[in-house]
Structures are given as C-alpha cells and as structure tokens.
Amino acid sequence: MNSPVESILECRGVSRHYGALAAVDGIDLAISAGETVGIGGPNGAGKTTFFDLISGLTAVSGGQILYNGKTITGVSPHQLFHQGMARTFQVTDGFGSLTVMQNMLASIINGGGAERPGLFITRKHRDLACAVLADYGLLNSADDLVSDLPALDRKKLMVATAVVHKPQILLLDEPVGGLAPSEVDAFIELILGLRKTGITIVFIEHVMRFLLAVADRALIMHQGKLIYDGAPKGIAADETVKSVYLGSAADAMGAH
C-alpha cells in the first residue's frame, strides 16, 4: 500500500537560475489539497518563474517538485494538465479572432481527459460549454469575438476554460491585475465560489484586497525566496515584508 499523500504539491529546495540570477532560490513549500494560497511579492521576485517550474514550462535548476506525492521533474505541461493541473497566465490569453463559445469548445475538445484532442464537437461538448459559460456570466457573450471582450470577461473566460476540465489544482497568475475595483469584487465572488468546490487554488496577486479576501494562506516572495508563509492577515504586520515589499502600503492595509 502507498502511504497517504499528505500534500497535493510539495517543493523541496526548488531553484531556477538564469546565468548568475537566481530567479527562484531554494523554495521549500507544502500545499494541502483544498487550500487557497495567495502569492505576493514585488515585480521580478520570481513568482511567474515559480509557476513555470510547477507547471512544467521551465525546468528546475535544482531541487524537486512533487505533485500528488510523485516527482514531476521532466513531466511536460500537457501531461500535468491531464493529471489535473491547470493554470492561467499573467498576460490574458485566448484566441482573439474566435468567439467566446469557440474558445470554450477548443479548450473542451483539447482536454476531455484524453491525451489526444477529440475530433468532433458533440452535443455534450456544447452543453458543457453553455453550462460553464453561464456559470461565469459569459453566455450572453458566447458569439462575441474574444478580441472585443472587456478585460474582465477575457479574464473570466481564461479561468472558465481552465475550470471546465475540473482540475485538482488551479494556478492563477495575477487574475485581477489591471481590473477596476468593482471588477476585482466580481472576481473575488467568482474565486470564493470556486473555493467551495474543494479545488486547490494557488494564485499570484499584487492586489492585496483580493489576496486578503480570497486566500487562507499567503506566501510572499522576494528575490526568489519565500520571505513569508502564514496567515494573510499577518502580512501587514510582518517587518521583513513591510521593509522589502509593502512599505507605507502596510499601514494603509492595517487601517482596514
């Protein structure tokens, strides 16, 4: 019998070097299934590179990443996707010249739990696409070109095309970056709804209001290292985080 898997994701001394630069520098971390973890930290801290290592887009220079108890060194992004790992990107993605529905169907037939894309779009695929687009408030825009969508809807679609595959773990890189405050509120509701489904969510986000509202655990990265791992509420009072990241913003956060 295998021993029970304690963490869905575990990092042991994970590093990524670019020449002399340690973009990610010896990260140790264990994330349990069902946690919602928010990662903050200044630009260039290594957050996106860290996601690239976890999702197999970039090879580690050192250390080990375990997903569901198995090392994933050398496992490609699409294999990880078929094992239940989905991610979105900092720059909002999507096929701009296709409609919202076409984007959703493209995602569905390229996933579907099989290693190869399906060749036919069936009624079942369409029904699933409609259901998920409705959940995300995008059904009325189903026939709109993605390039014509407002930023909020493009970001929602990116999450929806990942969530449609019912991943075990979802990685979101700056899901609300660039959105207006009321749009951030809409995204908070969306992610809180997703949390209830029991999925593990790890997200990168500068918008502290979002991180505080959504995460049950916060990580702060600085120069490739983890400088904080704890309750989101504790960030504002942490001296190291204050000095390297938040500065005077910490006082503003504490004032809420």
Ligand X SMILES: Nc1ncnc2c1ncn2[C@@H]1O[C@H](COP(=O)(O)OP(=O)(O)O)[C@@H](O)[C@H]1O
**Shortest CB 52 distance to ligand X, Å:** 7
**Shortest CB 151 distance to ligand X, Å:** 19
Partner in contact with 95, chosen from ligand X, Mg ion, none, beta carbon below 5 to 8 Å by kind? none
Nearer to ligand X, 48 or 107 (CB): 48
CB burial class (10 A; 0-12, 13-18, 19+) of residue 2? exposed
**Shortest CB 223 distance to ligand X, Å:** 9
Task: Give the footprint of ligand X on this chain (CB under 6 A).
Answer: 18, 21, 23, 41, 43-49
Nearer to ligand X, 59 or 131 (CB): 59
**Shortest CB 46 distance to ligand X, Å:** 4
Nearer to ligand X, 59 or 231 (CB): 59
Radius of gyration of the chain (CA): 19
Residue number closest to Mg ion, CB atom:
48
Partner in contact with 44, chosen from Mg ion, ligand X, none, beta carbon below 5 to 8 Å by kind? ligand X
Nearer to ligand X, 45 or 133 (CB): 45
Count CA within 13 A, CB hemisphere, residue 186. Answer: 14
For residues 36 and 216, the answer to whether their CB atoms sit within 8 Å is yes
Stretch binding Mg ion (CB under 5 A), from 1-9, 82-90, 100-108, 176-184: 82-90
What is the rounded CA–CA span in Å between residue 95 and residue 154?
A: 10
**Shortest CB 244 distance to ligand X, Å:** 13
What is the rounded CA–CA span in Å between residue 50 and residue 227?
A: 14
Partner in contact with 250, chosen from Mg ion, ligand X, none, beta carbon below 5 to 8 Å by kind? none
Nearer to Mg ion, 48 or 55 (CB): 48
Nearer to ligand X, 84 or 175 (CB): 175
- Angle formed at CA 188 by CA 199 and CA 132, multiple of 5 degrees: 55
**Shortest CB 198 distance to ligand X, Å:** 27
Q: Which of 48, 55, 103, 161 binds Mg ion (CB under 5 A)?
A: 48
Residue 37 is encoded by which pair of tokens?
């973890």
Stretch binding Mg ion (CB under 5 A), from 46-54, 75-83, 102-110, 186-194: 46-54
Q: State the residues that interact with Mg ion by CB under 5 A.
A: 47-48, 90
